[in-house]
Amino acid sequence: MKFTISRSSRGARKITALVVALLVAVGLVGLTVACGKGNPRGDDGAPIDVETMAYLSEARSLHHQAGIKEDTGDFPGAIAAMARLTAAQRPHPERKVPEVEEVLADAFARKAELELRAGNTNDALATVQQGLPHAESPTFFRGHLLEVQGLVEKARGAAFADAGKPNEAKAARERAIRLLDEAVKVQEGVVNASLDGGAK
């Protein structure tokens, strides 16, 4: 059985492509400044370097590859492209590079969405769990992972209902509502922080 997600696949891919493009653009600006004057820093205070830029470019290429495969209905191929990204060698493995962590969180979210569309709810749930440690702070990326987890639980609820398991279906739907509410709160916090400069 295949499940659909609430927003269109094309819309989800546009959001993902925009996020990855913005991350690469930010890195390119930092790299350009680094080659000129000054000492630009990433979110963690470390210099933005060529290795990180190469990783971000690799991520963008794999997202494009996944998009092509998804457009032809090749969900296993699209999932494999995202799996290649989540397993790729990361620059500076001795520390967490914010730009890399954001790409990973986004990649795990997209992989889970693809697995959900292919009907693999157990795989999708496991993928979200793998992604959450890369987005521990209340950011867009964490909110998106929680949203996907909520959609997975919604699909599980439907599957339980179809299998004649009303108690399990009800529990899954309740988890879906709770997770989607948590996602809303995270994203509201992101928006409010930007509007009031982080004041509570």
CATH number of the CATH domain containing 57: 1.25.40.10
Residue 82 lies in a domain: yes
* Total of domains in the chain: 1
> 135 in a domain, yes or no?
yes
Q: Which of 78, 163, 158 is nearest to 113 (CA)?
A: 78
- pLDDT digits 0-9 by tens, 140-181: 999 999 999 999 999 999 999 999 999 999 999 999 999 999
Domain containing 108 equals 9-193
Residue 81 lies in a domain: yes
Instruction: Give the whole-angstrom CA distance, residue 189 versus residue 140.
Output: 9
Within 13 A of 86's CA, how many CA atoms are on the CB side? 23
Q: What is the pLDDT of residues 28-62, one digit of tens each?
A: 444 433 444 444 445 555 567 899 999 999 999 99
pLDDT at 78 over 60: yes
- 15: Cα separation from own chain's centroid: 10
Sign of CA dihedral 171, 147, 131, 8: positive
In a domain? residue 128: yes
Q: At a CB cut-off of 8 Å and minimum separation 6, what does 76 contact?
A: 118
